[in-house]
A and B are shown apart, each in its own frame.
Chain A
Amino acid sequence: MDTPAMLQLLNDPMGVPFYPVVFQVLMVLTFALHILFVNLSLGATCLTVIGRLKGGERWTRLAGGMGQAATASVSGAILLGVAPLLFVQVIYDPFWYASSNLSAAWAIGFIFILMAGYASLYLARDRQGDAGSAFAGFAFAMFLTAGFIMHVLGFQLLQPEKWLGWYTSHGAASTAGTVLHDFSLPRFLHFVVPAFAVTGVFLMLYSWYFRARADADAAYLDWAGRLGAKMAFHATTIEILTGLLWLIVLPRDLRFHAHPLFVLGVVLGLGLLAFLYHAQDRETGHHLYAWPAAGAMFATVLEMAAAREALRVRYLARFGYAIADHRLNIDWGSTTLFFVTFVLCLVVLAWILAVAFRSGRVAGRWEAGPGMKAWGKASIALLVSWLAVVAGLGVAITLRNRGL
């Protein structure tokens, strides 16, 4: 059986409930957000370790803040990782399942490694001294390992021509799933080096955010902002080098260097680098560059997520696979359900985030104004209305289908 025939057979026969490109766009968007949080988790955890090892007032304080940021960020990374994981199974099902099953023990191990790291991060928060540093260091090592496993699964996925060979050992099926079959160091580095760039920009935002509080320590925040700007600049410089290395090791026939999304990625990456150079090249006031830096970084990462997807499309086109070839079984009902829910939930989510944002910026207790109060009530009303509409729909369908 040749590879294209194998892929055709593996493709889910049920087809997709909406245009594949919509899933692709959602996948790229949510992956970009996911990888930003992954990077922040890695970088913040690493700074927690460094801060605790260095000691001293500023570093200890920074380690505390970063430890707290890391716990929230890991949750965000998991939450935002679920969405691309779902969408990849819609449009790349043969690839995801084959790749993860070929290294199934690692795919399952990923879960336990992540849990061990996350639990360790919480343990680090409650402990001072060497024990605290050790727990934070262990968390960082676990997160890095988890990232590497995901890298391998994502990389094996691109090489369907090798799957059967990996699955066969001495003429029999090799079913232990304990081998990681292939990896690409430049590719992996290109995904983790930005941890320090993203965390650097996060520190600039941190410096900007807490400055507004009446009890703000301007000197400390200046220091954190400067540290962030320098980190972001240096990490982005290294990131461009890892990208170059990755380009060199890519298969020639993909001709990715000529892809418009790759070229745009280079332009945005260099633009970001130039901006970060400008931002870090001063004594104080780094926080003033925080928002433009965050915006530029988000745009660059989003573009790179799209470029990564374009690269996957090229890899898989070699085997005649295109997501547009999925059988379309459009389901308007559930598509509408999702998009309406998505908008509704964003309204509610924005209220929660606004409360968190505003209350964190005052030193004492924060009182919601009339606008925020109304928005909060409206959020509850939206959720109740959603339940009422869906329950009504459910009852109607149940009654209609009864006895059919």
Chain B
Amino acid sequence: MYPVWEVPGLTAGGVLALIATFHILPSHLSVSAMWLNLYLESKAYREERPDLLEFVRKYSRMLLIFAYVFGSITGVGIWFSASAAAPRALSGLIHNYVWGWATEWCFFLIEVAGIFTYYYTFDKVDRKTHLNIGWIFALGSWTTMVVIVGILTFMLTPGRWLVTGGFFDGFFNQTYWPQLFLRTTGMFAIAASYAVAVASRSADERTRADVVRIASAWGLAGLVLGTACFFWYRASLPEAARATFDVLLTPGLQKGMWMPIGLMAGYFAFLRFRPMSVGFTPALLAIAVLFVSIFSFERARELIRKPYLMPQFMYSNQIIGGELPAKGVSSETAAMNDKGILRFAPFVPDGLREVTDANRLEAGRMVALIECSACHTLSPKGLRPLPQRVAALGFTDAESMAAFIDGLGSYPFMPPFVGTETEKKALAAYLISISK
């Protein structure tokens, strides 16, 4: 419905995926780091260990800069790239969950004021007050996760919302609790890997040994509990999503999910017993390994939503194919089939609204932009490129291609074609033309 943004070789959705995955690192760090800080700061006061306090200060500085420079801006980046990739889906989410996001924002206020005050008041305020700032930050920050997980899981399993349209019915859905606990436990592995990296630069041997030992225990616990929660999460998925999970998940993606977990577990276990062998470069590599795992998990979460962006309601190409009587919304597909997608959609150059012999390929390309480009690049290289996919099907004439397009809806992960017969033929002709 909105102007399409084509990103060469990537698709706008690919940009969203990259920004969103990067965002996980600082955002989960900001949610988890303070718990480790609170433990270490209390220990430092209890045992009168200024060296440990010095570590807490350095770790907080890293948290302040990394999470509140790159974390908060990429958080906004997710919105911007979601606007570009799927404006109608984002709009749909916002028109249901605006108060959820606004609620999360209230806790952002606490987070940002909290981290600046926490970092700048070491030795400036009494110990108890400083710890209280930490507690408030830790609680407020984790609460942002409590809120956002409701919206994230709604996109996967909207539950009773499909019937009632109610905020909380969609929010507390069947995957809410497992995913909340999965992220909550997994985040300690992230906090631990950063703590190890910061500690590896510490000149004081005692600090290095103590922090690495403690952090690796936290990391190991996070990985073990996180893995358990993952199986709980997987079991909570609807049948169709689990089937898609098995079909669409490439071996690479599956390996990407599990191998890093194994590697990280080995790394933390090794450091637990040999903390002094920690090094800065391996610690950075470990963060990169963890990133691969997160990327794979998030990709898998996105993939199993197909062919929908909002299950049973809005397709991956942002066409509303379901009914939501509770909010007075009905499917658009009948009107689009009747009127034609090129006449229905507002952002279509005037010369392409009517398919003619002269503009057939251009009009077909316009249909592909509207209905396919959310997931497929139209260029030969990049993310799920249409020229290659069509060539692989082996069709050489527009009629067979059109017949294939007719049956798209029977694939579990593809939305059906919408539009008139003429538009379908134009799309088929265009697809054949780019596959040669």
Contacts and interface: CB of A to CB of B under 8 A. Distances in A.
Given A10-B2, A90-B94, A329-B327, A171 B113 contact: no
Contacts of A352: 110, 113-114, 117, 133, 136
Contact of A171 (B12, B90, B123, B349): B349
B12 A104 contact: yes
Contact of A329 (B101, B109, B146, B328): B328
B372 interface: no
Interface in A361-404: 365-368, 372-373, 376-377, 379-380, 383-384, 386-387, 390, 393-394, 397-398, 401, 404
A233 interface: no
Given A356-B116, A356-B117, A101 B5 contact: yes
A110 interface: yes
Given A338-B103, A394-B176, A367 B126 contact: yes
A173 B366 contact: yes
B369 interface: yes
Interface stretch (A114-122, A251-259, A274-282): A114-122
B346 A355 contact: no
B404 interface: no
Interface string A71-114: 01001101101110111011001001110111011011011001
Contacts of A15: 95, 327-328
A5 B349 CA distance: 16
A348 to B, nearest CB: 5
Nearest to A353: B113
A164 to B, nearest CB: 7
B157 to A, nearest CB: 11
Contacts of B176: 394, 398
Contact of B99 (A12, A168, A335, A349): A335
A176 interface: yes
Contact of B70 (A18, A115, A404): A115
Contacts of A334: 97, 99-100, 103, 167-168
B139 A384 contact: yes
Nearest to B109: A349
Contact of A383 (B81, B120, B140, B177): B140
Contact of A108 (B75, B81, B121, B326): B81
Contacts of A171: 349, 351-352, 362
Interface in A6-42: 6, 9-10, 12-18, 23, 26
A327 interface: yes
Quick one: which of B88, B103, B126 has the most chain A CB within 10 A? B103
A257 to B, nearest CB: 33
Nearest to A3: B346
A331 B124 contact: no
B285 interface: no
A383 B83 contact: no
Interface string B87-105: 1101110111111111101
B146 A387 contact: yes
B106 interface: yes
B346 A86 contact: no
Contacts of A380: 132, 135-136, 139
Contacts of B350: 164, 168
Given A108-B84, A334-B100, A167 B5 contact: no
A12 B95 contact: yes
B324 interface: yes
Given A401-B159, A404-B160, A82 B99 contact: no
A186 interface: no
B136 A379 contact: yes
A15 B344 CA distance: 20
A177 interface: yes
Interface residues of A, number: 97
Given A102-B3, A380-B135, A111 B73 contact: yes
A380 B129 CA distance: 12
B129 A355 contact: yes
Quick one: which of B99, B123, B165, B350 has the most chain A CB within 10 A? B99
A75 B369 CA distance: 37
Contacts of B88: 12, 97
A94 B305 CA distance: 25
A376 B77 contact: no
Given A72-B116, A359-B121, A383-B140, A85 B351 contact: no
A210 to B, nearest CB: 14
Nearest to B72: A78
Contacts of A401: 159-160, 169, 172
Contacts of A324: none
Quick one: which of B12, B15, B136 has the most chain A CB within 10 A? B136
A89 B84 contact: no
B84 A107 contact: yes
Nearest to A386: B143
A97 B87 contact: yes
A359 B125 contact: yes
A8 B18 CA distance: 33
Contacts of A85: 76, 79
A1 B102 CA distance: 35
A77 B265 CA distance: 39
A17 B347 contact: no
Nearest to B326: A329
A345 interface: yes
B320 interface: yes
Contacts of A398: 172, 176-177
A111 B172 contact: no
B102 A359 contact: no
B212 to A, nearest CB: 26
A9 B346 contact: yes
Contact of B5 (A104, A111, A351): A104
Interface in B120-166: 120-121, 123-126, 128-129, 132-133, 135-136, 139-140, 143, 146, 159-160, 165-166
B83 A101 contact: yes
B107 interface: yes
B263 interface: no
Nearest to B120: A356
A90 B347 contact: no
Contacts of A360: 124
A167 B94 contact: no
Given A86-B102, A101-B3, A355-B129, 19 more contacts: A10-B1, A86-B105, A97-B87, A97-B88, A104-B3, A104-B84, A107-B80, A107-B83, A108-B15, A114-B73, A175-B3, A175-B4, A331-B166, A334-B103, A365-B123, A373-B128, A376-B136, A380-B132, A397-B169
29 contacts: A10-B1, A15-B95, A17-B98, A75-B69, A79-B109, A82-B76, A86-B105, A93-B94, A101-B2, A101-B4, A101-B83, A102-B3, A104-B83, A111-B19, A111-B81, A164-B350, A175-B5, A333-B168, A334-B103, A348-B110, A352-B136, A356-B117, A359-B124, A360-B124, A383-B136, A387-B139, A394-B177, A398-B177, A404-B160
Interface of B: 1-6, 12, 15, 19, 65, 68-70, 72-77, 79-81, 83-84, 87-88, 90-92, 94-103, 105-110, 112-114, 116-117, 120-121, 123-126, 128-129, 132-133, 135-136, 139-140, 143, 146, 159-160, 165-169, 171-172, 176-177, 320, 324, 326-329, 344, 346-352, 362, 365-366, 369
The 10 closest A-B pairs by CB, nearest first: A104-B5, A97-B87, A334-B99, A345-B106, A111-B77, A334-B167, A175-B6, A14-B95, A338-B99, A104-B84
